[in-house]
Structure 1
């Protein structure tokens, strides 16, 4: 081992030196290549600039030359018979020509002495800047007339340098004159500047003797100076060459192009430091990356040496771990199978072979899982045809490739196997097989017992609800009739106490039914568009009377919110519980309800409603159990304030069902705050406003003929009194058979049908009426029953009923139902 380590160290050191040297060479090559590429790009850029500038300058020069050459014809209309020019008309014609050329600031006709004969910008006899005599002689002395450009001359009128473009012209009766165009140097510089793209680029327009006419950037002190050496027209190929920049003499790439006029040349100078700037900016990155790679190589070398030292120890530990794992798998009571990402067997334990003994002949490392499946189907289902066996194998392969849960199967021996498969990060699949024969039987029996118990509980609740609601209907109904009659103060007080007690009992029954539906998972939400502020305000308004009676303030704080999608009736139920509790446990002060909303993603709003009171508060140790069922703060609270302890539990479950939550904060003796938060989608349309319930119909209004099917004697008297009060005729029968017979004997506007009756129940009677011939089968039928659960309402609708009234029957609701069903 020491010899191997020594040789390994030498090898690692040699490889490290080679890598470091190679990295340094690569870095130098990259830097050189980057500088070469930068210079090539700069040459191409200079060539593009000079070519573009040549095109623009030539267009400008040619435009001025054409104008000068056409001046003779331009002034013909102003030539009088005596050979003289009409100066006013001449100036007007020249001014029009100036306006057509953006470069020229003035256009003039000048004689050999420099006297202005005609000018486009007014009646003057001298130039603002006199023409150099040498320039005048040079222009006048040309054998072949052509346009020449003067050196930059200061215009005393504008305080700007200008160039004079002059061309000789033969004038009848006078001889040779000069046509002169004054062009500001700034205008020519603007033409060059269009092609300069900053980054230190210098552009010049020069005479072939080196005289500087126009430059970019502008340097007034250099105007008219002769640069040395002058530009060579023979070398003006437009290719960038390394030389001194024309303006500041620094190292640069200079490209030169001639113009259409032999004496004028253009240059573009790009400083070498600017050209190499991209490469020099990349140099630190290259050096940093190279240094990083070198450090990485050195670190890798150190890591390799460290790895060599621990390899032998790791191999020994790995062998020991493998042996330990084999022992653990052999000791497992469950079957174990491991397949790799290619669906080939990697490992298994003896229990797996014991569970599936038919696999012993094919089970080995590398066996495809598909082979195991084919062997299994031939052993478990040998009677299946080939196509069915292939489908079975394909289904097993699909389940193996998407291991998301568990699989149960019964073997020919009667053993029930529960298989759990999970995919590993590398794509392999771990499978665990457990014999659950005995536990499966026990679980099945327990499931059957639980379902039977749940069904018995549901039947019990439904029956108890019916048995309690039936007499409660009579109690509350007769109480309502008594309150509507003439009572003295003591009698009215007793009747109101009786009504409050009955309504409290009805609230407990409704809470128990809601709790039963929530536990059974049958509580459903009616999702509609609603107005959050209006919904909360309805509850506050209804409870404000109670708050005033207690001498408490009840305030709503909030602003209008956009319509939301949700179940407003369940939201009202939550608020009735929370605000009702706040009023119940507050002796003085006030209760405040706050409404707000926060935008969420995906078009949702986080609706938040807070109910804060100044009541007795809740002890800290009671907060964790606050939303448990049938629990209140303590026994003294229950004795003093009463209640079933279901309100908060149901409110909490309803909030969770809506996808939200309820939180409580409290200080004992100072008050509590309950916060409801619900994530609700924004509504696409405004909520529909439900029509208000009409007042009970008075005697003399439209009277309907109504048949009542009710087997309870007290409820018969009660419903007849209610209908009499509403001003309707009614006949009463005691069972479904009589109801079917009666609708055939007389014509009715509406049938109020109890559900649970002797001889024939309400649903069977409805089905029988709907099967009758003629118009009688279309008579409106409304269920009037003490069965209040959702499945009873659905059963009534399935039997053909048009509506549903739950007992105890409210007089206003009954009046509205009659109005809608028997218009």
Structure 2
């Protein structure tokens, strides 16, 4: 490449511009200076006109004459009021003083006459003022003399003023001669400047014409180059580019359009796009869009149309339209892209999404069905085992029955783990914030496990600081995690040792990090399995799985709970040596509360009168079990084998309590409850759902149907005693019908009783206070933050509903 020649320091055009600019600046500067001088002279002239000496001096004589006349008239009337005389004198006095201090009398041209005038006025004022200021008695005798003196001074004043006016006129004429000369100079200068500017303008126009001609030629060459480049770009574009007139004639049809639509350029020219490439259902939309773009109503944004190839095949295309003006008038440029593959891919993604949603729903339905079908026989099995254990004839029978009960309990835990995992995956696990005693929580986990540890010849120890502050968190969920960890450690450390160690690390004021290590001397976990054990249904390996039972859900649930509480659960393990699981949670510290056990209330129902109880259950085993439980509570029992029979019996006879199964032939439980609530003798009876369905949305549906209490299978006798006990104390009538929901307590008494029994009165109050604070926080955020998305609202409502469900707040549980 040849080096480009350097341009001179100043080109001809630059010199010309500098010269024109210099001349213009000099001319304008001259005009500005002369204009300032003219302005100053005119200002002086205006000031002279403002203080016209002739008028001022003449007015002094007039004021003196009026004073003279007033004095003469007052002298002729001895009773005349002299106030008017004094007013005339005051006017004359003021005018004289103003004239004596005027700039007009300081002009050098009239200096001598002005001094004489000022002296006369001063003498006259000094002589007359004391007489005027004296009292009327002294002034009246001198009025004739005052009038005569005024006449004499006025005549002398007139001669002096006449001479001053003549001198001032001559001085004024002399002072205006420089202004006249200055105006002449300004005129000549202005004419010169105008001629110069016209000359420069003419030269500039000639120069501009030359430059514009050169630029026009350069622009023409550039346009030719751009046109060639544009033609090459359009010709090689992958998208179809079609140019058409407003009346629908195709002017250009690029090679991509030929390839996409199958027409040659010659076949497409002068034909309308509507007839050539657009399907019939797309023509109207294309025409409307084109007119909107031409009218400026719409922009050239992309939209999808159905187009047609020469073969007749229709396919989706993405189109964008722009317009321009050319020699052919207004033209429209359409850009089209074949999106058949993209549309097919999107359809595939939508189908995959629909399949995933269907699979998730199928999984949820499967879990619900499995839960129901497993809980129903477990209900009969566990209750029957309880009855049999109570009536065991000897220790051997009791031992075998205890083994059967333990196996059934383990099966029930597996079912509960599956449901717990399902709740965690759908975000339905509620986390509460309440004060709790950390030491008591640790003891409640470790102490009950020591019996099992002793059976396995395993050492189980707890190490924790002597003084632990009262913590704020979810003790139930923390205990659930620790129970899983301790149970797992005991499984794999038979004959070894398991140690639970807790420590606190300060974070900030009233914030600590709770770290709990559960260490065992078991078989350990291989490095490749350490990342898998927290996945659902995962056991490390076959031999590991054979050493202990389980579903592989405990660790998955535990890590999910830890993360929901803002913490973590990690593992360190060496095969053959042992494992250490560390639970780490950020928690707040709170005030120490009294021991809850001292204030705990009993969960047992208060004894009441004998009740009539209707059991509606299609499963024979469950009917027998429930009948036996209710009979042993001392109540009368009637049985119905499905919902339809139960509705008939409830309509014909009033029952105090109705135990209603949910899934039944003929008529299910919610429908039967609705029919009972609508009319009949038992429309206000207490309906208690007895169900194996335990998903939150299902329980909410049962409550809306009019079931005041929900008992989840398998049912323990203690769980059955509480709702029946409330009916026995007379609460059934007040809480029966859905129409009377307003009369129900805001908080579920049963739930409050359970919390009080577990935590004690003080901690229950603290939990309620914390619940109210959480509700205020959620409400304030919903009211104040306008940037919340639909997902944010859903998360906040879900959090509120979870807190309400845990604490037993009925209205919020149903609304949220």
What TM-score does the superposition give when structure 2 sets the normalisation length?
A: 0.47
| Higher CA-based Rg | 2
Structure having the larger proportion of residues in helix: 2
